[in-house]
């Protein structure tokens, strides 16, 4: 009846709405969301605009990792390695991968140029840390990948200057046949300070899970923390930083388990109790009488 007054949306508004759905897709589900968005929009131009803007944002936020065509491992799609809209550096193999954001695939790789790579001095620290993090991720995440980037001061040639590395860890599990998807993403910024000789570590962990068999339930957890260690030789720094990461992630995992274990009897109780305050099922037949003599119940206080 009131439908006539709803004004037509402009293409730009439609695109923004489509983008919102795409960017808010749960881990591993943007392709399914895109399919639904496409059939709702019924406008290929708007759809193409929306996906071309939304996929790169989603891919980077979700730290998706893509197999490189020459069997040299996986490249992580992250702003730390972003050279252009669809070129991502894989520092470990010193390659640049061309990424098709919408297909979520890596099409070609080329060797990175010298300008795209850090100096030899930085590379010593980066490489040593990469080796330690690979060890840790291999032991900890059955399906995890990691990479270490230089995000500041990549041309520093020797001691006396600050520089910054970033460790990215991404683990994903998609099992749509079991109606379940999830990701673990962590980013550790490691600032090497020359004066005083300190290393400052800040971490951000994001964990998400979606279970959707006859329902829609999602976990969305985030955590930030800080730590520090002393500036030493590359190998010693690497071990110390990897230990910090291991320590905080293990502690965080334990805290997630605590949060879950507290749910049934504590946290959830503040929403709804398992049983009434009287600890017996609700006496429906009696309350009918109670309701007829409302004033009395009010005087006695509700319940008992």
Partner 1 sequence: MEAAMGLMRRIPPKNSATALSALLSLLPDQSSNLLSQIDQPLEVLCDMDCGKQFLLCEYNRDADSYRSPWSNKYHPPLDDGLYPSPELRKLEIEANDVFAIYRDQYYEGGTSSVYAWEGDNGGFAACFLIKKDGSRTGHGRRGYLQEGSWDAIHVIEVGAEEEGRVHYCLTSTIMLSLTTNTEASGSGTFNLSGSIRRQMNMDLSVEENRLCSMGRMIEEMESKLRYSLDQVYFGKTKEMICTLRPPSEVVQMTMPDT
41-80 residues in contact with partner 1 (CB under 8 A) are 41
DSSP symbol at 3:
G
Specify the residue, 33 or 75, whose C-beta has the smaller distance to partner 1.
Answer: 33
CA 199/CA 222 separation, integer angstroms = 23
The two structure tokens encoding residue 277: 């305050």
Residue from 73, 145, 123, 148 nearest 234 by CA: 123
- Residue 33 as a binder of partner 1 (CB under 8 A): the answer is yes
Interaction residues for partner 1, span 270-289 (CB under 8 A): 270-278, 281-282, 284-285, 287-288
- Residue 225 as a binder of partner 1 (CB under 8 A): the answer is yes
Specify the residue, 44 or 270, whose C-beta has the smaller distance to partner 1.
Answer: 270
Dihedral (C-alpha) 58, 59, 64, 69: value to the nearest 10 degrees?
A: 160
Stretch that binds partner 1, among 37-45, 63-71, 119-127, 190-198 (CB under 8 A): 37-45
* Pattern 77-96, partner 1, x by CB under 8 A: --------------------
* Minimum CB–partner distance for residue 144 and partner 1 (Å): 8
How far lies 144's CA from each of 50, 77, 279, in Å? 30, 14, 46
Q: Which of 143, 155, 230, 233 binds partner 1 (CB under 8 A)?
A: 143
Q: Are 75 and 99 in contact, with CB atoms under 8 Å apart?
A: yes
Interaction residues for partner 1, span 179-208 (CB under 8 A): 180-184, 203, 205, 207
CA 105/CA 48 separation, integer angstroms = 17
Q: Are 241 and 216 in contact, with CB atoms under 8 Å apart?
A: no
Specify the residue, 13 or 113, whose C-beta has the smaller distance to partner 1.
Answer: 13
* Minimum CB–partner distance for residue 296 and partner 1 (Å): 12
Specify the residue, 172 or 239, whose C-beta has the smaller distance to partner 1.
Answer: 172
Specify the residue, 112 or 245, whose C-beta has the smaller distance to partner 1.
Answer: 245
Residue from 153, 151, 154, 148 nearest 118 by CA: 154
Residue from 12, 51, 15 nearest 33 by CA: 51
* Minimum CB–partner distance for residue 256 and partner 1 (Å): 6
How far lies 220's CA from each of 20, 27, 79, in Å? 18, 11, 22
Q: Which of 10, 24, 107, 232 binds partner 1 (CB under 8 A)?
A: 24
- Residue 15 as a binder of partner 1 (CB under 8 A): the answer is no
- Residue 6 as a binder of partner 1 (CB under 8 A): the answer is yes
- Residue 177 as a binder of partner 1 (CB under 8 A): the answer is no
Residue from 152, 147, 165 nearest 64 by CA: 147
* Minimum CB–partner distance for residue 205 and partner 1 (Å): 8
* Minimum CB–partner distance for residue 19 and partner 1 (Å): 11
Q: Which of 84, 120, 160, 258 binds partner 1 (CB under 8 A)?
A: 258
Find all residues with CB under 8 Å of 161, minimum gap 6, and list them.
153, 194
The two structure tokens encoding residue 75: 């490249």
The two structure tokens encoding residue 22: 């795409």
Q: Which of 71, 84, 195, 217 binds partner 1 (CB under 8 A)?
A: 217
* Minimum CB–partner distance for residue 208 and partner 1 (Å): 9
Identify any residues that bridge with 84 across adjacent strands, giving them in sequence order.
87
- Residue 162 as a binder of partner 1 (CB under 8 A): the answer is no
Find all residues with CB under 8 Å of 46, minimum gap 6, and list them.
11, 14, 15, 18
């Amino acid at each position: 009846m009131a439908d006539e007054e709803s004004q037509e949306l402009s293409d730009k508004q439609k695109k923004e709405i489509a983008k919102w759905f795409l960017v808010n897709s749960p881990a591993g589900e943007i392709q399914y969301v895109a399919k639904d968005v496409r059939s709702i929009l019924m406008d290929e131009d708007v759809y193409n605009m929306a996906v071309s803007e939304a996929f790169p944002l989603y891919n980077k936020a979700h730290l998706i990792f893509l197999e490189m065509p020459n069997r040299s491992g996986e490249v992580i799609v992250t702003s730390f390695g972003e050279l252009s809209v669809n070129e991502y550096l894989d520092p470990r193999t010193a390659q640049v991968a061309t990424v098709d954001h919408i297909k979520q695939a890596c099409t070609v790789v080329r060797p990175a140029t010298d300008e795209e790579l850090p100096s030899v001095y930085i590379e010593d620290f980066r490489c040593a840390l990469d080796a330690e993090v690979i060890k840790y991720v291999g032991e900890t995440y059955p399906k995890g990948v990691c990479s270490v980037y230089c995000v500041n001061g990549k041309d520093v040639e020797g001691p006396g200057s600050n520089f910054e590395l970033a460790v990215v860890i991404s683990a994903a599990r998609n099992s749509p046949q079991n109606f379940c998807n999830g990701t673990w993403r962590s980013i550790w910024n490691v600032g090497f300070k020359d004066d005083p000789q300190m290393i400052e570590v800040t971490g951000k962990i994001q964990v998400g899970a979606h279970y959707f068999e006859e329902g829609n339930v999602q976990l969305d957890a985030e955590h930030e923390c800080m730590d520090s260690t002393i500036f030493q030789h590359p190998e010693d720094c690497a071990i110390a930083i990897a230990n910090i990461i291991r320590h905080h992630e293990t502690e965080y995992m334990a805290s997630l388990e605590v949060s879950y274990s507290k749910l049934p009897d504590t946290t959830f109780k503040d929403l709804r109790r398992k049983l009434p305050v009287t600890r017996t099922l609700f006496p429906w037949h009696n309350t009918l009488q109670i309701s007829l003599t409302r004033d009395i119940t009010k005087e006695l206080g509700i319940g008992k």
